[in-house]
Structure 1
Amino acid sequence: MSDLLPLFPLSTVLFPGMRLPLHIFEDRYRLLVSDLAARPEPRRFGVIAIRKGREVGADGVTALHEVGCVAEVRQITPHADGRFDLATVGAERFRLLRADTSLPYLQGEVEMLNDDASPAGTDQAVAAEALAFATSRVQAGFRAYLNALADRGGSVISIADLPDEPVLLSYVIGAAMIIDLPERQSLLAAPSALDRLRRERSLLVRETAMLRATTSRPAPDYAFEQFSQN
């Protein structure tokens, strides 16, 4: 079953459970927010990463990645000049099936994706053991990564307590690492938390080794410092 969802293309990736503040100033997105404000809660739109550049433009859906994340609006703060500030939190992931350009802002026909902990058909006991192992490895790898950042004078990403729940952990780590957008997008699109954690472990090993081997650090993209389980 598909849904029609307002879309906000961005040069970033939103993960479920992560907070994303937005400052709305373009006319088409002011209209989007006004339309959302007129609806009953939950007020939701889709955040989807742009493949190239900053605008979708004439290429339409071909300029967007296939998998995005629903953003639930928690607060709308209007300004006298028509701008808005939004407080949003990532909800479930979706796959974009078709773009709808009938309104000034983009809409998309989407299907919601399950947040599976392990690949479909995996034996339950085997999956539980693999998830526990991957979770502990990623937690340890992320702490080593933060230590390497600190040793090189980087800005430490502060997350007080890493979650033990595999799906949430996979989203927190995906949002917090300083990596390129295509790699972050591939984590969002991973078919299960186990797949995502395994990819994150490899990325953490690579990034930590690079930090320890060089005197420079990667330029920060963005990182979420808080997560929400709601």
Structure 2
Amino acid sequence: MLTMELLPLFPLNVVLFPASRLRLHIFEERYKLLMERCISNSAEFGVHLSTEDELAAIGCTAKVLKVIQTYQDGSFDIVVEGVHRYKLKDTNVSDENIVMGEVQRIREETELPAGDRIEKAVALYNNLVVVAYKGKVDLLNIDDVLRNRDYLSYTIAEKVGLDLTKRQDLLENLSESQRLEEVIQHMEETIPALEQYEKIQQIVKNDGYLPKAKF
């Protein structure tokens, strides 16, 4: 049985996935102190979705990879990486006004999606990012993915336009196979709309004619 631990939480209007990276701007004194401690001690903290002062059931531990910018007012920007999901059991507030969570880390399942579903997900993802990002996002290499199948659903979810609720639902789903099916369904619904939008934009771009009403 997994043990309970006390974890400092950083409540945000964002969802962090395991192995995903986020840039965070740290400006409140309490969180500046927390991040400085985490950096000094190579310690983790919890990035936890907070909506309307309500904390989600599941969050993700994070480690600070790098301080990328500091500002004259003492605030700074950091890059963090998601490490491990956890269930939030209880909370209290420390003397430094940091929310402390009593958490239990989630044991990740060992069963991974079938190869044909992975291939389908990668093909859809590559199609989507070509249309949406125009070369600004790297394509996934199927051979690399098949060698390392962990967290593919989360990798895809970063870039396919899931709303906050769907991202949190994905974080809370314990089955990688189910998570992958969810992002496949989302991409199958999203790609036609993106392609239609692209066609409309191309038509507008190639329209060099002047409206008759103006002359």
Global fold match (TM > 0.5):
yes
Residue 13 of structure 1 aligns to a residue in which SS? Answer: coil
Asked whether the 8 Å contact 2:129–2:139 carries over to 1, the reply is no
How many percent identity over aligned positions? Answer: 29
In 2: Cα distance, 1:204 partner to 1:161 partner: 15
- CA drift at 1:37: 4.1
Q: Among residues 120, 144, 166, which one is paired with 2:149 in the alignment?
A: 166
Q: Which residue is equivalent to 1:200?
A: 183
Moved more, 166-175 or 27-36: 27-36
Alignment-derived partner of residue 212 in structure 1: 195
Q: Give the match for residue 87 of structure 1.
A: 79
The TM-score, its normalising length taken from structure 2, stands at 0.78
Equivalent residue in structure 1 for 2:100, among 93, 104, 107:
107
* Alpha-carbon distance between aligned partners in 1 of 2:163 and 2:154, rounded to the nearest angstrom: 16
Q: Which residue of 2 aligns with 1:65?
A: 56
Q: Deviations over 1:57-84 (max 9, x none)?
A: xxxxxx1211111111123466564323
How many correspondences in the alignment?
Answer: 192
Quote the residue 2:9 is aligned against. 7
Query: Shift in Å at residue 46 of structure 1?
Result: 0.5
1:1-230 alignment runs, 5 A limit: 1-38=3-40, 40-41=41-42, 43-52=43-52, 56=53, 63-76=54-67, 81-103=73-95, 104-118=97-111, 130-149=113-132, 158-162=137-141, 163-164=145-146, 165-214=148-197
Structure 1 distance, partners of 2:119, 2:92, is 43
Q: Which moved more, 1:95-104 or 1:72-81?
A: 72-81
Matched residue SS, 2:150: helix
- Name structure 1 gaps, 5 residues minimum: 57-62, 119-127, 218-230
Q: Greater strand percent: which structure?
A: 2
The residue type equivalent to 1:205 in the other structure is E
* Matched residue type, 2:18: P
CA distance in 1, matches of 2:71, 2:126: 41
Give the residue type in structure 1 aligned to 2:189.
Answer: R
Indicate the SS of the match to 2:151: helix
Write out per-residue CA displacement over residues 138-160 of structure 1, whole angstroms, 9 at most, x where no aligned residue.
Answer: 101112222442xxxx5655124
Larger Rg: 2
